[in-house]
Chains A and B, each alone.
Chain A
Amino acid sequence: MSAVYETVQAQPEVETVVPPAQPVPVKTTMNKPKFELQEKLADGLRWIIPPMLGILAFIALWALVAQETENLPGPLKTWESAKLLFADPFYNKGPNDQGIGWNILYSLYRVGIGFGLAALIGIPLGFMIGRFKFLAAMTAPIISLLRPVSPLAWLPIGLLVLHKAEPASIWVIYISSIWPMILNTAVGVRQVPQDYLNVARVLNLSEWKVFTRILFPAVLPHVLTGVRLAIGIAWLVIVAAEMLTGGVGIGFWVWDEWNNLNVEHIIIAIFVVGIIGLLLEQGLIWIAKRFSYE
Chain B
Amino acid sequence: MEKFVHLDHVDVKFSTKKGVYHALSDINLSIDQGQFFTLIGHSGCGKSTLLNIIAGLQDATEGAALCEGREIKGPGPERAVVFQNHSLLPWLTCYDNIYLGVERVFGTKEGKAKLKQRTLAALDLVGLSHAEQKRPNEISGGMKQRVGIARALAMEPKILLMDEPFGALDALTRAHLQDELMKIVAATNSTVVMVTHDVDEAVLLSDRIVMLTNGPAATIGEILTVDLAKPRDRLALANDPHYHHIRSKVLEFLYQRQMRPAAA
In the bound complex, residues from chain A placing their C-beta under 8 Å from that of B56 are 201
The reply to whether A4 and B101 form a contact with Cβ atoms under 8 Å apart is: no
A213 to B92, CA, bound (A): 8
In the complex, per-residue mask of B177-203: 1 if CB is within 8 Å of any chain A CB, else 0: 000000000000000000000000000
The reply to whether A202 and B138 form a contact with Cβ atoms under 8 Å apart is: no
- A293 interface residue (CB < 8 Å to B): yes
- The number of inter-chain residue pairs (CB within 8 angstroms) is 57
In the bound complex, residues from chain A placing their C-beta under 8 Å from that of B55 are 202
In the bound complex, residues from chain B placing their C-beta under 8 Å from that of A162 are none
In the complex, per-residue mask of A206-230: 1 if CB is within 8 Å of any chain B CB, else 0: 1001000110011000000000000
A204 to B56, CA, bound (A): 11
In the bound complex, residues from chain A placing their C-beta under 8 Å from that of B91 are 217-218, 293
The reply to whether A293 and B135 form a contact with Cβ atoms under 8 Å apart is: yes
The reply to whether B77 and A203 form a contact with Cβ atoms under 8 Å apart is: yes
The reply to whether A201 and B57 form a contact with Cβ atoms under 8 Å apart is: yes
A294 to B56, CA, bound (A): 29
A206 to B87, CA, bound (A): 18
Of the candidates B76, B81, B89, B137, which one forms a contact with A213 in the assembled complex, judged by CB atoms under 8 Å apart?
B89
The reply to whether A4 and B137 form a contact with Cβ atoms under 8 Å apart is: yes
In the bound complex, residues from chain A placing their C-beta under 8 Å from that of B80 are 202
In the bound complex, residues from chain A placing their C-beta under 8 Å from that of B77 are 202-204
- A143 interface residue (CB < 8 Å to B): no
A195 to B88, CA, bound (A): 9
- B44 interface residue (CB < 8 Å to A): no
The reply to whether A195 and B137 form a contact with Cβ atoms under 8 Å apart is: no
Of the candidates B74, B76, B83, B90, which one forms a contact with A1 in the assembled complex, judged by CB atoms under 8 Å apart?
B90
- A198 interface residue (CB < 8 Å to B): yes
In the bound complex, residues from chain B placing their C-beta under 8 Å from that of A202 are 55, 57, 75, 77, 79-81
User: Knowing A203-B101, A204-B77 touch, does A198 contact B83 (C-beta < 8 A)?
Assistant: yes
Q: Is the interface of B mostly helix, strand, loop or mixed?
A: loop
Closest chain B residue, CB of each to CB of A8: B138
A199 to B92, CA, bound (A): 13
The reply to whether B87 and A198 form a contact with Cβ atoms under 8 Å apart is: yes
A191 to B57, CA, bound (A): 19
In the bound complex, residues from chain A placing their C-beta under 8 Å from that of B89 are 196, 199, 213-214, 217
The reply to whether B87 and A199 form a contact with Cβ atoms under 8 Å apart is: yes
In the bound complex, residues from chain B placing their C-beta under 8 Å from that of A209 are 100, 104
In the complex, per-residue mask of B68-86: 1 if CB is within 8 Å of any chain A CB, else 0: 0000001111011101010
Q: Is the interface of A mostly helix, strand, loop or mixed?
A: helix
A133 to B74, CA, bound (A): 22
Of the candidates A8, A199, A205, which one forms a contact with B83 in the assembled complex, judged by CB atoms under 8 Å apart?
A199
A214 to B89, CA, bound (A): 7
In the bound complex, residues from chain B placing their C-beta under 8 Å from that of A201 are 56-57, 74-75
Nearest Cβ on chain B to A10's Cβ, whole angstroms:
14
User: Knowing A203-B100, A204-B104, A213-B92 touch, does A195 contact B76 (C-beta < 8 A)?
Assistant: no
- A47 interface residue (CB < 8 Å to B): no
- A286 interface residue (CB < 8 Å to B): no
Nearest Cβ on chain B to A67's Cβ, whole angstroms:
55
User: Knowing A201-B75, A213-B92, A217-B91 touch, does A195 contact B83 (C-beta < 8 A)?
Assistant: yes
In the bound complex, residues from chain A placing their C-beta under 8 Å from that of B138 are 5, 8
A217 to B89, CA, bound (A): 9
A284 to B180, CA, bound (A): 45
- Listed in ascending order, the chain A residues whose CB lies under 8 Å from chain B are 1, 4-5, 8, 195-196, 198-199, 201-206, 209, 213-214, 217-218, 293-294
**9 A-B pairs closest in CB distance:** A293-B90, A195-B87, A217-B91, A293-B91, A202-B75, A203-B101, A202-B81, A201-B75, A199-B87
26 A-B pairs with CB atoms under 8 Å apart are: A1-B90, A4-B137, A8-B137, A195-B83, A196-B87, A198-B57, A198-B83, A199-B83, A199-B87, A199-B89, A201-B75, A202-B75, A202-B79, A202-B80, A204-B75, A204-B76, A204-B104, A205-B104, A209-B100, A213-B89, A217-B89, A217-B91, A293-B90, A293-B91, A293-B135, A293-B137
